[in-house]
Structure 1
Amino acid sequence: MPNSLNPLELIARRWQPSAAFVRQTALATVVMAVIIVVTGGAVRLTQSGLGCSTWPTCTPESLTPTSAMGINGLVEFGNRTLTGVLCVVVGVFIIAARARHPRRRSLTRLGWAQFWIVMINAVVGGITVLTGLNPYIVSSHFLAATALLTVAVLSWKRAGEGDEEPRDLVARPVRQLGWLLVTATGALTVIGSVVTGTGPHAGDATKLDHRIPLNWQEITQLHVDFVYIVVGLTVALWFTLRAVKAPAAPRRMVLELFACVALQGVIGYVQYFMGLPELVIGFHMLGSALVWICVLRVCLSLRDRGPLQEEDPDESAPSGEQEAPEPQVASASSR
């Protein structure tokens, strides 16, 4: 009976989104995940980490920032508000994926995974404030945002492909090289978060002594070393794909990754030699998100799951008339 159906099932019975709409909402979750990474960095770089003194409210007496809190309160509260926007976007994706026929449970699971990561990261953000910007919690906050970006990219990819069993487009050792590239880039991202935890941008001017007790220059050098590893693996993968005559799409994506990593390296050196200016660091954080997206796309492009079914089979013609040859056409061609 309709009364016993859950809200998502009721929506699915009344609304049939197109496959293109589902893909667009999946892409929107990727865009919002990148925005959250960048605006989270802006909170730290503008010394607004404690712009709201508590959580979940902004102050013990007010949900929103007061005029006395100035720009720092607005920046911190703005980032919290964007989390609400992110929840709406993820919610639209979940509803669209659930309402789409034929139903694809893998998509709805990925959507719910995004939702729960957002919820967990919101709590981590609250703990960050309540612990006075503990550098370890700050780093985990960024890594949780990267986890959200990962699931969002997977959702975007799955929304544009079929549900067949994955079929390798290249030999197994080539795919393993792709996964090695993903692993190295993941390590690069983790080390980058540690660099942040040891550096001078604590998120609040009163917390400059509250940093991860590691030598900043040494951990930065380790970060640079992993950049070279990622560059080397990217070049190796491109030459390997050419040697095995892989499809054009993976080779193109590897070139896009190389360009993104090269630009990110330039930004990294600029920020280092300019004394870590906030604006350049912000671009570096954007670059880290884009590099991660490119790496995931490269690895996912090395397998195929068949074409996406654009239409619901239940809505197609019940008879086989569409597949039967038209007599007129056959007759005309035989003359």
Structure 2
Amino acid sequence: MPNSWNPFELIARRWTPSARVVRLTALITVVMAVVIVVTGGAVRLTQSGLGCETWPKCTDNSLTPTSDMGIHGVIEFGNRMLTYVLCGVIGLFIIAARSYKPTRRSLTRLGWVQFWIVMGNAVVGGITVLTGLNPYIVSSHFLISMALLTVAMVTWQRTREGDAAPRGLVATPVRQLSWLLVGAAGVLIVIGAVVTGSGPHAGDATKVHRIPLDWQEITQLHVDFVYIVFGLTVALWFTLRAVAAPKVISRTVVELFAVLLSQGLIGYIQYFTHLPEFVVGMHMLGSCLVWIAVLRVFLALRERGEAPAAVPAPTGEHEALQPAEEDPAPAASR
């Protein structure tokens, strides 16, 4: 198909969004990435993981839940439908980024990365149902969602900065300390997924296979890594003060402190109240917020210059006849 008929190119010729619109659509993808994690947790915590007994249909004979499936079918199917909402939001960002002038290929590429992560995770979600909530698949489903959140956060940050090579705002040892913080937080999230796979909330009222580990011992390991992440955060804060780093960086570390303290409080409440569903759901939300705060600290330690200002698109028949630039989207997705 001629490039001039590429729908992304046709929209780009007729619409030039402002930088604010591009940033807003990127932020919405971050919010939706969090929503999909929390609602996925709600499916498990309400024992609705097998509310739709098969995939991609809800039953062998029906795409949607039937009345005899009750609320569990509605909850599971509703979570599936949110995937389409997420794809729509990501698609809106891709269109906005593609239509922005000057064109920033780095943004559209990140948008397509998000799209393909969602598609891959949808397949993993189907495998989760078809395997009867295999805990290893359930854990990978959650971790892929966190990968989506990571890319969405990087995308949002990139909309607020330029395309120059990243330049560190602090010395290399300080940046290396931030790498340790990111690594420890990543391990913390992975261990949290193992706790989920071995803990009492299996996702369905029937007997579901669990990871054969003592979930209380894994929980203690999870707590140990909380202390490691907290200690690295304290070390980074003192280090930033010692090197007189920009205040905006120190502020992101303080925000991380606040999120960690809140998440730690929720964690202790859920443990000593024997894991009530609502509190566990709040802890899942807190996991997303901790990861966001960690990424904000890491991304604040470098800069890429100012984001390019939007420029009006050329108008008239002459512009319409100009050859289109190659779209970064894979050919199969056009």
* Runs of 5+ unmatched residues, structure 1: 316-335
Matched, 1:165 2:162: no
The change in CA–CA distance for 1:106 and 1:141 in structure 2 (over 3 A counts) is same
1:261 aligns with 2:268: no
Task: Assess, with a 3 A threshold, how the Cα gap between structure 1 residues 134 and 2 changes in structure 2: closer, same or farther.
Answer: closer
> Which residue of the partner structure matches residue 298 of structure 1?
297
Equivalent in the alignment of 1:323 = none
Q: In 1, are the aligned partners of 2:100 and 2:310 still within 8 Å (CA)? A: no
Q: Which residue is equivalent to 2:284? A: 285
Q: Matches of residues 1-335 of structure 1 in structure 2 within 5 Å?
A: 4-208=4-208, 210-312=209-311
Q: Could you give the per-residue CA deviations for residues 119-159 of structure 1, whole angstroms, max 9, x where no partner exists? A: 00000000000000000000000000000000000000001
Displacement of 1:163 after TM fit?
1.0
Does 1 or 2 have the higher relative contact order (CA < 8 Å, sep 6+)? 2
Residue 165 of structure 1: how far off its partner (Å) = 1.2
Gaps of at least 5 residues in structure 2 are 315-334
Deviates more, 1:3-12 or 1:171-180: 3-12
Identify the range of structure 1 (6-15 vs 88-97) with the bigger mean alpha-carbon deviation: 6-15
Identity of aligned residues (%): 74
Tell me the SS of whatever aligns to 2:52: coil
Aligned residue identity for 2:225: F
SS in 2 for 1:21: helix
Distance 2:243 2:313 in 1: 41
Could you state the TM-score of these two structures normalised by the residue count of structure 1? 0.92
Corresponding residue SS for 2:147: helix
RMSD: 1.3
CA deviation profile, 1:51-108 (whole Å, cap 9, x unmatched): 0000001001100001100010010001001111000000000011111111111100
Q: Decide whether aligned partners of structure 1 residues 174 and 313 sit closer, same or farther in structure 2, where only a CA change above 3 A counts.
A: farther
- Structure 1 residues 37-60: Cα deviation after superposition (integer angstroms, max 9, x where no partner): 000000000000000000001001
Deviation at 1:114, TM superposition (A): 0.2
Tell which deviates more after alignment, 89-98 or 2-11.
Answer: 2-11
Verify the 8 A CA contact 1:2 1:10 in the aligned structure 2: no
- Distance (Å, rounded) in 1 between the aligned partners of 2:269 and 2:136: 26
- Report SS of the residue matched to 1:229: helix
TM-score after normalising by structure 2: 0.92
Q: Compare 20-29 and 158-167 and name the one that shifted more.
A: 158-167
Partner of 1:327: none
Is the 8 Å Cα contact of residues 53 and 59 (structure 1) preserved in structure 2? yes
Opposite residue 17 of structure 2, the aligned amino acid is P
Q: Which amino acid aligns with 1:100?
A: Y
- Specify whether residues 53 and 264 from structure 1 end up closer, same or farther in structure 2 by C-alpha distance, changes over 3 A only: same
Shift of 1:3: 7.0
Give 3-state SS (helix, strand or coil) of 2:129's partner: helix
Contact 1:64–1:77 at 8 Å: present in 2 too? yes
Question: Structure 1 residues 4, 173: CA separation in 2 closer, same or farther (over 3 Å shift)?
Answer: same
Query: SS at the partner of 2:30?
Result: helix
The DSSP-based 3-state class of the residue aligned with 2:309 is: coil
Partners of 2:285 and 2:82 in 1: CA distance: 16
Shift of 1:260: 0.2
SS for the counterpart of 1:65 is coil
Give the drift of 1:2: 7.5
Amino acid at match of 1:40: G
Amino acid at match of 2:32: M
